[in-house]
Chains A and B, each alone.
Chain A
Amino acid sequence: GAVVSQHPSWVICKSGTSVKIECRSLDFQATTMFWYRQFPKQSLMLMATSNEGSKATYEQGVEKDKFLINHASLTLSTLTVTSAHPEDSSFYICSARRETQYFGPGTRLLVL
């Protein structure tokens, strides 16, 4: 149990376009999901906490207008990177909280 999926697993896009990443808890309901970003050879940095039915809570330094988070159901949270630029290229990982946090497989984003 406690499986979290992400889609897509990787995406390449042109600068200026928007990209949506989905995070799903497959076998449990999660009122809280989290979005992290990881640059090469670095640790995971929390971007935001996604709460079902309410606005996301963003960490300091994360632009809420650039990284739009929607948690429309108890099994789905989405992260939309708007007007993506090359510096947004990274590995984005979501997690869903049950008794502990369970992590998705991540999405590699490359912005050209």
Chain B
Amino acid sequence: GIQVEQSPPDLILQEGANSTLRCNFSDSVNNLQWFHQNPWGQLINLFYIPSGTKQNGRLSATTVATERYSLLYISSSQTTDSGVYFCAVGGNMLTFGGGTRLMVKP
């Protein structure tokens, strides 16, 4: 099956800093989503982005499908950004990457 790798696995930031999270996948996909899992376990949809670039406030994402990677940018990070960020790829079914555990310190 498809392999999904995320980096870095852990990230600690000072409030206000910017960061880039990466997702590499092993095969062509027609669905790629980024999620934020909050401390209570809820998965929050951030982006549906099989290709191209999208922005939503301080977050933006870019997927280069031909090179099989996607990037999630977080600017001016806040403590509420803490949690685990997952990318997931696939068609009808999603395969999740291992996640990036982000901690933003005040």
In the complex with contacts A43-B97, A43-B98, A100-B42 CB distance below 8 A:
no
Q: How many angstroms between the C-alpha atoms of A49 and B99 in the bound complex?
A: 22
Q: In the complex the two chains form, is A100's CB within 8 Å of B41's CB? A: no
Q: How many angstroms between the C-alpha atoms of A91 and B99 in the bound complex?
A: 16
- Of chain A, the residue at the smallest CB distance from B33 is A100
* Interface assignment of A112: CB less than 8 Å from any CB of chain B: no
Q: In the complex the two chains form, is B98's CB within 8 Å of A34's CB? A: no
Give the total of B residues in contact with A, Cβ under 8 Å.
Answer: 20
Tell me the number of A-to-B contacts counted with CB atoms below 8 Å: 45
State how many angstroms separate the Cβ of A70 from the closest Cβ of chain B. Answer: 19
Q: How many angstroms between the C-alpha atoms of A100 and B86 in the bound complex?
A: 15
* Interface assignment of A26: CB less than 8 Å from any CB of chain B: no
- Partner-binding segment picked from B21-29, B72-80, B87-95: B87-95
Q: Chain A residues near B97 (CB, 8 Å)?
A: 43
- Of chain B, the residue at the smallest CB distance from A38 is B41
Q: How many angstroms between the C-alpha atoms of A49 and B93 in the bound complex?
A: 8
Q: In the complex the two chains form, is A97's CB within 8 Å of B96's CB? A: no
- Of chain A, the residue at the smallest CB distance from B35 is A103
Q: In the complex the two chains form, is A32's CB within 8 Å of B92's CB? A: yes
Q: How many angstroms between the C-alpha atoms of A4 and B33 in the bound complex?
A: 17
Q: Chain A residues near B92 (CB, 8 Å)?
A: 32, 49, 97
In the complex with contacts A43-B96, A100-B31, A101-B33, A93-B43 CB distance below 8 A:
yes
- Of chain B, the residue at the smallest CB distance from A44 is B96
State how many angstroms separate the Cβ of B52 from the closest Cβ of chain A. Answer: 15
* Interface assignment of B45: CB less than 8 Å from any CB of chain A: yes
List 13 other contacts, CB 8 Å, given A43-B99, A100-B31, A100-B48. A34-B94, A42-B98, A43-B96, A44-B86, A44-B88, A46-B93, A46-B95, A93-B43, A97-B92, A100-B45, A101-B33, A101-B88, A108-B41
Q: Which B residues fall within an 8 A CB radius of A?
A: 31, 33, 35, 40-43, 45, 48, 86, 88, 92-99, 101
